[in-house]
Structure 1
């Protein structure tokens, strides 16, 4: 792992040598140390990284996830840690399937509370022993998890304020089904008329008229 600085390289060597039960493998990406662990090894590894005198990663900066639907374990859950003492950052990753449950890190890092709620809300990854695992960004009664790759681009419902009922109401999205599956190739396929086409037609007719007059 030549991309790592000397301190991170030493950390990688120590982790591989001393934590074989928790560390599946380590890798370097763009100068960053990434440590892969398992669901059962996650809390043990996080505690070690926080408490060991040679590491002292005492700040949890973020928990997020990445969705790879084609994989058997479709999610990579990512923990970004900072050590002010070592002036280093480290990234811990764990793979999780759609039905898997990960142990909560709230007992180790209180800041994990809202972060895990966000991951649950947007990806649907469940954390066991979380003291208050509920949605945090989407509304009550929201269906699905918006950052999953198979979540429709338009969503399922839209909301508006109903003057008759004097309240916000939810209704099914009124866009056609074609707009739900964007193929990243031709967003205008199947659309017969685009805004501004009439101006282009008027201009072409005017040009022909001028050519005939000349």
Structure 2
């Protein structure tokens, strides 16, 4: 009886490689549970989207979970998407020194709905939340001192909103007659309205100082 030809043996399937950032994303999703609306890896960092009203509880869990230990608040900022009903993303950046890891956390809100302040969890967030209020008009409840931070007293509007005019609403000058600083509506001089975008080295009828050296006979 002839022997059967050798059958090729199937190689065992390679196990998927779990990178440290994927492991971190899985740990964040496990700690947040149903409060994790989305957990993904974006731009080299783990990004999680959570409900606005759960942000304080979520911050406590991320800080106190020993497998995460996000004990440092790095930044709180806002992003404006005017075309959305909830036009603002409030973005929190956390740092875990023990894991050498960062986490980006997002909630959404609109112009009128406040976001719970996390200053009771991370006192360092007070400054960042004031900046987001000043620049974008994002409201925070439970903040001990929510007032403008970078703009002047009586400033109109929020400069980082996409619909804020480039020239602003008012201009400031010192009035010699009144002996004080006054605020007035912005006035654009005619030469700024009709700027022709020409380089100063083009379209002139005179020779600029130094150009005569470049002239050849």
For normalisation by structure 1, the TM-score amounts to 0.80
Separation in 1 of the partners of 2:143 and 2:19? 36
Corresponding residue SS for 2:74: strand
Of 72, 83, 102, the residue aligned with 2:115 is: 102
2:25 and 2:41 in contact (8 A); partners too? no
Match of 1:184 in 2: none
1:123 aligns with 2:127: no
Corresponding residue SS for 2:86: coil
Residues 173 and 197 of structure 1: is their aligned pair in 2 closer, same or farther, counting only changes over 3 Å?
farther
Per the TM alignment, residue 192 of structure 1 is displaced from its structure 2 partner at its CA by 6.2
Matches within 5 A, 1:1-214: 5-6=19-20, 8-175=21-188, 191=195, 200-201=204-205
Give per-residue Cα distances to partners, 1:143-199, cap 9 Å, x unaligned: 1110000000000111111222221111111027xx8xxxxxxxx8x6569685996
How many aligned positions are there? 190
Corresponding residue SS for 1:200: coil
Separation in 2 of the partners of 1:82 and 1:164? 54
Separation in 1 of the partners of 2:50 and 2:32? 10
1:39 and 1:94 in contact (8 A); partners too? yes
Residues 193 and 81 of structure 1: is their aligned pair in 2 closer, same or farther, counting only changes over 3 Å?
closer
Per the TM alignment, residue 12 of structure 1 is displaced from its structure 2 partner at its CA by 1.6
Per the TM alignment, residue 142 of structure 1 is displaced from its structure 2 partner at its CA by 0.8
Task: Give the unaligned 5+ runs of structure 2.
Answer: 1-15, 208-217
> Which is greater in Rg?
2
Corresponding residue SS for 1:71: coil
Separation in 2 of the partners of 1:159 and 1:70? 32
Displaced runs of 4 or more, over 3 A: 190-199
Give per-residue Cα distances to partners, 1:50-103, cap 9 Å, x unaligned: 111011111101100110111121111100011111111111011112222100
Per the TM alignment, residue 30 of structure 1 is displaced from its structure 2 partner at its CA by 2.0
Give per-residue Cα distances to partners, 1:95-150, cap 9 Å, x unaligned: 11222210000100001111100000000010001111000001111111100000
